[in-house]
């Protein structure tokens, strides 16, 4: 039932469009290239909105499209209130919003409050100014340790690997939790807060429906910037106890953001929050903070029914404690594609299809990552082809470009209608020929057809209503849950043998049934 389930306790029922929405993450660089430079752009996305309407998604999340030297593909922003010429213009953005709205698709965009680019005018003027100046106070400049300040102010490491501090010519150091080209802002400074508020209003006034807040657990730093426990690794950001993230001061910043959003009815914010502890995570969802918090548990759980059941139960503890909707995601631009995580090949695809059926059965908001609906896997690429800063600092095995390759739309060879040039920003594999949107739309058994049917059923069928689940007993390696109010049953088989399904009419299955049984690596819906 589209948009008619319960809302937050303090809101009237049935008014919150995001409560059970299907969001679709558009990695703008890789979605569709209109101007032929090999990089996706806003106009390319606009020309493909018909596809997204067909897929049936409720809302888009656009990755950053702001002016940027692209040290971290746009998460290093030089001006948060403009469009990078690579991606188009503000006029293109306005046209995109208008067109999407006319198709009943909401637009949400990425904001990056934790840091700017080192080419942002604020950072340039901080570099030109003296230690202790107002210009430096917008960032986290500190004197170093040691006799001549030759050692960094503390032992923090960057989430991309390597030290979190870089020294400038006059001897001071500045903090960057990510790449050196992404200096962290000083959120204690009222100017930083005021500027972010301006950015929120700038885009809200242009009609956006919401935001994805990057590193939403990162903006507040602990007083005195104490050393971190050296056992915390660079790449395991977000653990409770890591002084770089999830400091209590961050909540006041979310309250500030929420105050602005509350002035714009029906707008929302979702936080990227790598915090494992459910009680800590729930704090971000208090009624005066974020509307949604990403929950990465499904990304981190392997294909095993018991482990997945625990993940689902733990994830549901957060909405139960807060009244905010659950959120689910199997992939994004920072992690391996699920087909590869589940072992790759035909089995990886079967498992990924099964997990899409599980995910889309769950109550709450679902975030899909562009290309997962085509069953795409990671793309092997030589280290030289990788542009991700994490590949350089932590090693090619940590490079995220493998899941960011441009999408295959049509035709039999690269660039598959993504662009007019074959020189796409990341090379596209010839093996994707059978996986184009064009081919999959024509094939009822394709992964795209499965996603289309699943999204449509989820939105229209009354069996999907209500927020609570109950579990059935199931054979080893399997699970079955039921949406309590609507009655939808979802069964998953991660065992090696076919299983008998619970009673009911089969609405959908991720793989064909075998003699009426659910085969291994498959999931089904029943009513």
CA angle 92, 95, 98 (to 5 degrees): 150
Q: Report whether 84 contacts 74 (CB < 8 A).
A: yes
Q: Cα–chain-centroid distance for residue 207?
A: 21
Find the shortest distance in angstroms from Cβ 199 to ligand NOJ. 15
| Count of residues touching ligand NOJ (by CB under 6 A) | 9
Is 246 a binding residue for ligand NOJ by CB under 6 A? The answer is: no
Q: Which is nearer to ligand NOJ, 297 or 350 (CB)?
A: 297
List of E strands, 156-297? 165-167, 173-175, 210-213, 268-271, 292-293
**Listed residue (409, 408, 388) closest to 398, CA to CA:** 388
Minimum CB distance to ligand NOJ, residue 454 (Å) = 25
Residues in the chain: 527
Each residue 462-501 as x (binds ligand NOJ by CB under 6 A) or -, in order, gives ----------------------------------------
Does 456 qualify as catalytic in the annotation? no
At 382, is the secondary structure helix, strand, or coil?
coil
State which of residues 77, 78, 127, 215 lies at the interface with ligand NOJ (CB under 6 A).
215
Say whether residue 72 binds ligand NOJ (CB under 6 A): yes
In the chain the first and final C-alpha atoms are separated, in Å, by: 15
Active site residue 104: no
* Spatial distance between the Cα atoms of 251 and 4, rounded to a whole number of angstroms: 30
One residue of 18, 24, 65, 75 binding ligand NOJ per CB under 6 A: 75
CB of 404 to ligand NOJ, least distance (A): 9
Residue of 263, 442, 470, 514 marked active site:
263
Which of 135, 334 has the CB closer to ligand NOJ?
Answer: 334
Binding of residue 214 to ligand NOJ (CB under 6 A):
yes
What is residue 29's three-state secondary structure?
A: helix
Backbone angles phi, psi at 109, to 5 degrees: -130, 160
- In whole angstroms, how close is the CB of 333 to ligand NOJ at the nearest point? 6
Check binding of 112 to ligand NOJ (CB under 6 A).
yes
Q: Tell the smallest beta-carbon distance from residue 150 to ligand NOJ (Å).
A: 28
Q: What is the pattern of x (binds ligand NOJ, CB under 6 A) and - over residues 270-309?
A: --x-------------------------------------
Distance separating alpha carbons of residues 353 and 454, to the nearest angstrom: 11
Q: Is 184 in the site for ligand NOJ (CB under 6 A)?
A: no
Distance CA(384)–CA(389), nearest Å, equals: 12
Rounded-to-integer distance, Cα 310 and Cα 315, Å = 8
- Which residues are part of the catalytic machinery? 214, 263
**Contacting residues toward ligand NOJ, per CB under 6 A:** 72, 75, 112, 178, 214-215, 272, 333-334
């Amino acid at each position: 039932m589209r948009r008619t389930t319960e809302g937050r306790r303090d809101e009237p029922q049935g008014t919150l469009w995001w409560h059970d929405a299907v969001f679709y993450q558009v990695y703008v660089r890789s979605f569709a290239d209109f101007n032929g430079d090999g990089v996706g752009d806003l106009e390319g996305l606009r020309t493909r909105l018909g596809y997204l309407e067909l897929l049936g998604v409720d809302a888009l999340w656009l990755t950053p499209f702001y002016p940027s030297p692209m040290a971290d593909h746009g998460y290093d922003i030089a001006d948060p209130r403009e469009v990078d010429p690579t991606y188009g213009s503000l006029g293109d953005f306005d046209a995109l919003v208008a067109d999407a709205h006319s198709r009943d698709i909401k637009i949400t965009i990425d904001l990056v409050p934790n840091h700017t680019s080192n080419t942002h005018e604020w950072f340039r003027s901080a570099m030109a100014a003296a230690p202790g100046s107002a210009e430096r106070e917008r960032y986290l400049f500190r004197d170093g340790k040691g006799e001549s300040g030759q050692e960094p102010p503390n032992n923090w490491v960057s989430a991309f690997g390597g030290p979190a501090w870089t020294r400038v010519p006059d001897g001071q150091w500045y903090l960057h939790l990510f790449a050196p080209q992404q200096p962290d802002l000083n959120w204690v400074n009222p100017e930083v807060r005021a500027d972010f508020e301006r950015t929120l209003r700038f885009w809200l006034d242009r009609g956006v429906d919401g935001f994805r807040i990057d590193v939403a657990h990162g903006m507040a730093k602990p007083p005195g910037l104490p050393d971190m426990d050296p056992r915390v690794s660079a790449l395991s950001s977000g653990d409770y106890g890591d002084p770089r993230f999830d400091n209590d001061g961050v909540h006041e910043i979310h309250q500030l953001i929420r105050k602005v959003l509350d002035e714009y009815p029906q707008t929302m914010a979702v936080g990227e929050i790598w915090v494992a502890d459910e009680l800590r995570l729930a704090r971000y969802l208090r009624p005066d903070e974020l509307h949604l918090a990403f929950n990465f548990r499904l990304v981190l759980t392997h294909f095993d029914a018991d482990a997945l059941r625990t993940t689902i139960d733990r994830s549901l503890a957060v909405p139960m404690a807060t009244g905010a909707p659950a959120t689910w995601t199997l992939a994004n631009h920072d992690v391996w594609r699920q087909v590869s995580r589940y072992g790759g090949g035909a089995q990886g695809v079967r498992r990924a299809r099964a997990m899409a059926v599980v995910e889309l059965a769950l109550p709450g908001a679902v975030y899909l990552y562009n290309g997962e609906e085509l069953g795409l896997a990671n793309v092997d690429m030589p280290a030289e082809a990788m542009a991700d800063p994490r590949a350089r600092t932590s090693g090619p095995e940590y490079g995220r470009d493998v899941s960011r390759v441009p999408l295959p739309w049509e035709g039999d060879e690269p660039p598959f209608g993504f662009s007019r040039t074959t020189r796409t920003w990341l090379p596209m594999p010839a093996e994707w020929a059978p996986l184009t949107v064009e081919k999959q739309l024509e094939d009822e058994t394709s992964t795209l057809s499965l996603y289309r049917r699943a999204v449509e059923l989820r939105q229209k069928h009354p069996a999907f209503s209500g927020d609570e689940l109950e579990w059935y007993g199931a054979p080893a390696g399997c699970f079955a849950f039921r949406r309590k109010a609507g009655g939808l049953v979802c069964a998953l088989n991660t065992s090696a043998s076919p299983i008998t399904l619970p009673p009911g009419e089969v609405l959908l299955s991720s793989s064909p049934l075998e003699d009426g049984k659910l085969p291994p690596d498959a999931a089904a819906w029943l009513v």
